């Protein structure tokens, strides 16, 4: 883990080493002083004293002084408290012994938290008092009888492990309440280094959980993060002379200098990285605890056995291509191709879309072994990124896992400039990089509002990328977005749109709140700004409007509200109205190679990798039945184009041939047998395959997870897009058999699909259908249109 940003030479290392040495020296001095205060009851120095101590132990006169808390861990900072326990075995003069220890400490001015207990008393308190239990788990003997200390530690550990299910559930609830009060350390401008989520207290909690044997002890990365925060706390106490653990703004420069850092921004960035490392490890730990504490249930199904008849103890359920669910986490499927440059993103997208975490071991393996896409990215890698972002809030944890493993900066090198970068503005809730991910997560709820959800999600991810560079972040960010769009493999026109989105991501909110919306110049200003990409002005305005919402919501409650939302929406509507255009393109015409296929006598089927082309006499239901066959073979439709060929003059005008051109990829695993797929398509064309019945049987046999919460589907009718057909646009979250369901619903309404343009962008489907009624005419009756909308929505429910 890299915890330094902008340090000057070895100054930081020297400063931190000096602080660690100071803590160790102070711990030694305190131990010697406290041993002396215990006096004759301290550690025996001679053989005679040892015999006397052994006799005292048998007669009940033994005592021991133990340290808990910071001094018990030898982590006491200048402002920390001494937390001591005087342990005895029913000694009658123990109060006098305690006074000989406590009063000199009070006289020194040190703050002291103290108690006097027998082993049984301490054990009883630890069973009911969580704070006492956590302290005694890390107790360290300073002076006195070692047997007493060993006896107490063994008893407390035995009780902690025996009651682990109850105590860990209690500890989890305490931590959640503390996090709710103190907030996220990584994203606070004035954090509490000890109590905030991701702070020092959480590492101590992780050590306590490890003592229960439910999880492993914190690893080297977490310990390094803990040591960084401990050094910051030490420097804070030393430079301010105060005991508070809250790092307020006016003290950050002095603390940074004490640590050998360049400035307060470097300090906050280092704290953010350390806190996020702790939080990420802690999230995994609490998943283990939750699984351990869950009520035990008898298995609902008989245990599976492998090919050799051995009982399979772990169930693995496919969630995507190369990814399976195992014990509530996503891991690599057996045989996953680590040389596939899209694998890491595809597995991440599968985890996010299933609302499951990535297993840490899987993330580490992907970081160490998996190939990553080269520039320009292949389309499947770009689609996987869009699908990951389209999972909404479920994507945040998965993105954090990739970030912790160093995969994000390897995938997107420009990300390093904004990673953990603080925003010294109380309006902003998060660091720059987390704000960008939060904005993309909120944009996922707005994908139904725009024609290009992929550009919205990527634009949200990049809109503040320029904050890692000098100057106006919108202008510098536009340059970075252009480079990153090219890197991701977007075509030039889409790259221009991304560049425009980043350059003008503040255009609508700033104009709407600072200008008169009734002034024609206001709308003209917006239109002029988006005219850099001719023909796509309306699309860009829709994207900017959605981006403004996502950006504002991700910034914080002070940055977005009903008043601003109303003004932005009003300005966007006026600008779109002024453009007076932006309808979808007319139905596409057949290219020459497909026109030749359409003239094939009867029906023709071609399967070439992921490209499936069908030419057959046009009829009701052809599209959705073909899509159903693809779904039967576990193929997910990425694109579909359906057009009708006009008959030649010498032919019967009633003999219209439809050409269906699909691009489809496996949901997971290996592709289906092309020969089997082609055979089923031909059986479908010959009406010898009951597609609906086969799909129903498959649906009953497949276990599916609920997945992430997604926006509801939307069905709309595009006016003036065609004079010969009704244009139905469906926007929905992609899932197996989606095109089948839509087409079946249209067929049940008595409609025929004259042409279709189907696209899956990441995890979002944007499908446009040109439909006519049984007489070959477009729909005009309002009730008929309403029935179509209702029928399609019900099919997608």
Closest CA to 164 of 106, 98, 215: 215
- CATH number (domain holding residue 238): 1.20.120.330
Quote helix, strand, coil % in the chain, to nearest 5: 55, 15, 35
Closest CA to 111 of 70, 73, 146: 70
Shared-domain flag, residues 402 and 537: no
Shared-domain flag, residues 218 and 74: no
Shared-domain flag, residues 494 and 572: yes
Q: For tokens 């009718």, what's the residue?
A: 717
Of 144-148, 309-313, 375-379, 661-665, the least confident: 309-313
Angle at 475 between CA 473 and CA 478, to 5 degrees: 100
pLDDT for 443 equals: 97
Shared-domain flag, residues 381 and 435: no
Helix or strand (DSSP H, E) at 643: strand 635-645
Q: How many CB atoms lie within 10 A of CB 533?
A: 17
Give 313's pLDDT tier (boundaries 50, 70, 90). Answer: low
Indicate the average pLDDT of the chain: 87
67 lies in a domain? yes
Helix 146-162 vs helix 119-128: angle between axes, to the nearest 10 degrees? 30
Looking at per-residue confidence, does 485 or 666 come out higher?
485
pLDDT at 791 over 90: yes
Please count the structural domains in the chain.
5
The span from the CA of 155 to the CA of 123, in Å, is 7
**Mean local confidence (pLDDT), 651-677:** 78
pLDDT for 297 equals: 61
pLDDT at 7 over 70: no
DSSP string, 65-128: EEEEHHHHTT---TTPPEEEEEEESS-TTHHHHHHHHHHHHHHHT--EEEEEEEHHHHHHHHHH
179 lies in a domain? yes
Of 214-218, 453-457, 674-678, the least confident: 674-678
Give 569's pLDDT tier (boundaries 50, 70, 90). Answer: very high
**Mean local confidence (pLDDT), 175-183:** 95
Cβ(420)–Cβ(269) under 8 Å? yes
**Mean local confidence (pLDDT), 339-360:** 96
pLDDT for 591 equals: 62
pLDDT at 170 over 90: yes
299 lies in a domain? no
SS3 320: strand
Q: Considering the entire predicted model, what is its pTM?
A: 0.84
Give 11's pLDDT tier (boundaries 50, 70, 90). Answer: confident
Give 10's pLDDT tier (boundaries 50, 70, 90). Answer: confident
pLDDT at 351 over 90: yes
Give 666's pLDDT tier (boundaries 50, 70, 90). Answer: confident
pLDDT for 592 equals: 62
pLDDT for 746 equals: 92
pLDDT for 416 equals: 96
**Mean local confidence (pLDDT), 681-690:** 87
655 lies in a domain? yes
Give 587's pLDDT tier (boundaries 50, 70, 90). Answer: very low
- CATH number (domain holding residue 45): 3.30.460
208 lies in a domain? yes
Shared-domain flag, residues 658 and 787: yes
Contacts 24+ apart (CB under 8 A), 655-659: 655/617, 656/617, 656/618, 657/598, 657/599, 657/615, 657/616, 657/617, 657/618, 658/615, 658/616, 658/617, 658/618, 658/619, 658/622, 658/623, 659/590, 659/594, 659/597, 659/598, 659/613, 659/614, 659/615
pLDDT for 770 equals: 87
> Which of 275, 293, 311 finishes a domain?
293
Shared-domain flag, residues 528 and 553: yes
Shared-domain flag, residues 454 and 575: yes
Give 275's pLDDT tier (boundaries 50, 70, 90). Answer: very high
Per-residue model confidence as pLDDT tens digits over 202-253: 999 999 999 999 999 999 999 999 999 999 999 999 999 888 999 999 999 9
| 8-state DSSP, 754 | E
pLDDT for 599 equals: 55
Cβ(763)–Cβ(390) under 8 Å? yes
Of 2-16, 165-179, 309-323, the least confident: 2-16
Shared-domain flag, residues 169 and 151: no
> Which of 131, 162, 193 finishes a domain?
162
Highest mean pLDDT among 292-306, 538-552, 652-666 belongs to: 538-552
Structure tokens at 87: 């342990």
pLDDT for 41 equals: 46
- Main-chain phi, psi angles of 245, to 5 degrees: -100, 5
| 8-state DSSP, 753 | E
**Mean local confidence (pLDDT), 714-722:** 83
pLDDT at 2 over 50: no
Percentage of the chain with pLDDT > 90?
61
220 lies in a domain? yes
Give 649's pLDDT tier (boundaries 50, 70, 90). Answer: very low
Shared-domain flag, residues 482 and 599: no
pLDDT for 585 equals: 40
The span from the CA of 621 to the CA of 658, in Å, is 11
Give 580's pLDDT tier (boundaries 50, 70, 90). Answer: low
**Mean local confidence (pLDDT), 418-436:** 91
Shared-domain flag, residues 772 and 741: yes
Percentage of the chain with pLDDT > 70?
88
- CATH number (domain holding residue 495): 1.10.3210
pLDDT at 78 over 50: yes
Shared-domain flag, residues 711 and 769: yes
Give 558's pLDDT tier (boundaries 50, 70, 90). Answer: confident
6 lies in a domain? no
pLDDT at 709 over 90: no
> Which of 146, 162, 178 finishes a domain?
162
The span from the CA of 709 to the CA of 319, in Å, is 16
70 lies in a domain? yes
Shared-domain flag, residues 204 and 261: yes
pLDDT for 737 equals: 84
SS3 696: helix
**Mean local confidence (pLDDT), 541-552:** 96
Structural domain of residue 503, as residue ranges? 429-581
pLDDT for 596 equals: 61
């Amino acid at each position: 883990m890299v915890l330094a940003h902008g340090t000057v030479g070895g100054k930081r290392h020297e400063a931190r080493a000096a602080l660690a040495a100071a803590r160790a020296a102070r711990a030694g001095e305190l131990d010697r002083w406290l041993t002396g205060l215990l006096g004759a009851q301290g550690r025996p120095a001679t053989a005679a004293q040892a015999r006397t101590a052994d006799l005292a132990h048998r007669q009940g006169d033994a005592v021991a002084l133990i340290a808990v808390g910071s001094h018990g861990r030898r982590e006491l900072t200048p402002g920390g408290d001494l937390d001591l326990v005087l342990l005895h075995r029913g000694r009658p003069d123990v109060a006098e012994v305690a006074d000989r220890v406590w009063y000199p400490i009070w006289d020194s001015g040190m703050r002291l938290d103290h108690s006097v207990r027998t082993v049984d008393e301490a054990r009883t308190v630890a069973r009911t008092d969580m704070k006492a239990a956590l302290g005694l788990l890390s107790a360290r003997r300073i002076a006195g009888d070692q047997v007493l200390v060993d006896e107490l530690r063994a008893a407390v550990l035995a009780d902690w492990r025996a009651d682990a299910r109850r105590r860990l559930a209690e500890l989890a609830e305490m931590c959640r309440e503390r996090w709710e009060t103190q907030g996220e350390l990584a994203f606070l401008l004035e954090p509490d280094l000890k109590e905030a989520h991701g702070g020092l207290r959480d590492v101590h909690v992780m050590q306590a959980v490890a003592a229960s044997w439910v999880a492993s002890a914190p690893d080297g990365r977490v310990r390094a993060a803990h040591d960084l925060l401990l050094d910051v706390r030490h420097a804070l106490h030393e430079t301010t002379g105060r005991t508070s653990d809250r790092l307020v703004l006016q003290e950050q420069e002095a603390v940074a200098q004490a640590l050998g850092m360049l400035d307060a921004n470097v300090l906050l960035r280092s704290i953010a990285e350390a806190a996020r490392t702790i939080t990420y490890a802690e999230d995994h730990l609490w998943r283990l605890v939750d699984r351990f504490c869950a009520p035990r249930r008898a298995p609902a199904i008989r245990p599976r056995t492998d090919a050799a008849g051995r009982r399979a103890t772990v169930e693995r359920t496919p969630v995507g291509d190369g990814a399976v669910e195992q014990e509530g986490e996503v891991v690599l499927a057996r045989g996953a191709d680590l040389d596939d440059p899209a694998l890491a993103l595809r597995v991440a997208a599968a985890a996010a879309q299933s609302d499951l975490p990535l297993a840490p071991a899987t993330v580490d393996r992907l970081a160490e072994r998996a190939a990553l896409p080269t520039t320009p990215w292949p389309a499947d890698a770009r689609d996987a990124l869009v699908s990951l972002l389209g999972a909404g809030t479920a994507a945040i944890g998965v993105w954090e896992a990739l970030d912790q493993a160093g995969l994000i900066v390897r995938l997107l090198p420009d990300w390093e400039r904004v990673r953990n970068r603080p925003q010294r503005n109380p309006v902003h809730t998060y660091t720059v990089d987390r704000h960008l991910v939060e904005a993309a997560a909120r944009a996922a709820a707005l994908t139904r509002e725009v024609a290009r959800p992929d550009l919205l999600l990527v634009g949200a991810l990049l809109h503040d990328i320029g904050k890692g560079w000098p100057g106006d972040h919108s202008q510098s960010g536009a340059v970075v977005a252009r480079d990153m769009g090219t890197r991701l493999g977007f075509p030039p026109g889409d790259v221009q749109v991304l560049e425009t989105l980043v350059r003008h991501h503040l255009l609508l909110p700033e104009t709407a709140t600072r200008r008169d919306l009734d002034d024609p110049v206001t709308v003209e200003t917006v239109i002029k700004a988006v005219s850099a990409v001719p023909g796509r002005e309306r699309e860009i305005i829709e994207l900017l409007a959605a981006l403004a919402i996502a950006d504002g919501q991700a910034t914080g409650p002070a940055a977005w509200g009903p008043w601003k939302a109303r003004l932005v929406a009003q300005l966007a509507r006026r600008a779109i109205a002024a453009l007076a255009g932006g309808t979808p393109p007319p139905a596409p015409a057949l290219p020459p190679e497909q026109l030749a296929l359409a003239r094939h006598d009867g029906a023709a089927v071609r399967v070439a990798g992921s490209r499936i082309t069908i030419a057959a006499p046009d009829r009701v239901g052809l599209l959705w039945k073909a899509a159903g066959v693809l779904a039967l073979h576990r193929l997910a439709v990425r694109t579909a184009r359906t057009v009708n060929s006009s008959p030649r003059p010498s032919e019967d005008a009633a003999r219209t041939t439809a050409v269906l051109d699909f691009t489809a990829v496996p949901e997971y695993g290996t592709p289906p047998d092309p020969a089997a797929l082609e055979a089923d398509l031909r059986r479908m064309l010959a009406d010898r395959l009951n597609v609906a019945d086969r799909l129903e049987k498959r649906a009953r046999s497949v276990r599916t997870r609920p997945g992430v919460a997604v926006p509801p589907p939307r069905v709309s009718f595009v006016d003036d897009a065609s004079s010969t057909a009704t244009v139905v646009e469906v926007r929905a979250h992609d899932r197996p058999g989606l095109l089948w369901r839509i087409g079946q619903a249209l067929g049940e309404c008595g409609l025929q699909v004259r042409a279709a343009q189907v696209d899956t962008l990441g995890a979002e489907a944007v499908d446009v259908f040109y439909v006519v009624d049984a007489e070959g005419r477009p729909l005009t009756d309002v009730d008929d249109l309403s029935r179509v909308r209702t029928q399609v929505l019900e099919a997608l429910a």
